[in-house]
Amino acid sequence: MDNAAPTGPAPRPLRIGDSAPDFEARSTAGPVRLSDYRGRWLVLFSHPADFTPVCTTEFVALAREAAAFEARDCALMALSVDSLFSHFAWLRMIRDRFDVEVRFPIVEDPTLVVGRAYGMVCAQDSDSATVRTTFFIDPAGTIRAMSCYPASVGRSIPEMLRTLDALQAIDAAEGLAPANWQAGDALLRPPAQDIDEVFAAEGQADWFLREATPRKGKRR
């Protein structure tokens, strides 16, 4: 993707299963290229603006949980329309006020070329700020999950980690993560794929709702 201002119609919204569009940009950790993250998980997320209350709480919370993402072999990358120098000043303020260093890269996207490609900008909004979108990108560069919150609601870092745990667990065990699943809980088995399996199942619901072998070693 070249970083020129966009022309023409808006791209179709990204969906789960799409390849994460590649880009190169300046960031607080130096130049970054999305494709350089192939081989590990990446959480790419946008925030509306530096020096705003909810965003500050998100960055403090994420920086404090950076080791938990690292333990899952997952990098973090943030993005907003603010300039690199705004990002620097904000991170310095966060360090001085909250005693935590944000070491993951924050991309500057003043032309919104990345924000638009990822659908991080509200199309109806006259404000060019990005909303709180989060993309979970797997080691092959495929978007596996995404979320979108308004500027007024901060994200849950435990839920981000839970989503990552669930994606990694289902890849390892080819199971399904039920409601409220937490790392270490049993996964569900994929439902029957043919009528023989349906008729052979013992319990009434066993052909579509049954636990896979419980997994050991709860991480948290």
Give the binding site for ligand BEZ (CB under 6 A).
48-49, 52-55, 151-152
What HEC string does 62-93 produce?
HHHCHHHHHHCCEEEEEEECCCHHHHHHHHHH
Amino acid type, 171: D
Beta carbon of residue 54, minimum distance to ligand BEZ (angstroms, whole number): 3
* Cβ contact 28:60 at 8 Å: no
- Residue among 34 and 151 whose Cβ is closer to ligand BEZ: 151
Structure tokens at 91: 């991170």
- Which residue from 181, 131, 136 is spatially nearest to 151, judged by alpha carbons? 131
- Residue among 49 and 212 whose Cβ is closer to ligand BEZ: 49
Beta carbon of residue 116, minimum distance to ligand BEZ (angstroms, whole number): 18
Active-site residue, 55 included: yes
SS3 state of residue 7: coil
Beta carbon of residue 52, minimum distance to ligand BEZ (angstroms, whole number): 3
* Cβ contact 187:176 at 8 Å: yes
- Which residue from 74, 70, 18 is spatially nearest to 45, judged by alpha carbons? 74
Say how many Å lie between the first and final Cα of the chain, rounded.
Answer: 39
Question: Which position among 55, 74, 122, 148 bears the catalytic label?
Answer: 55
- Residue among 126 and 180 whose Cβ is closer to ligand BEZ: 126
- Residue among 54 and 102 whose Cβ is closer to ligand BEZ: 54
Beta carbon of residue 171, minimum distance to ligand BEZ (angstroms, whole number): 33
How many degrees, rounded to 5, is the angle at CA 143 between CA 147 and CA 176?
80
The catalytic residues are: 55
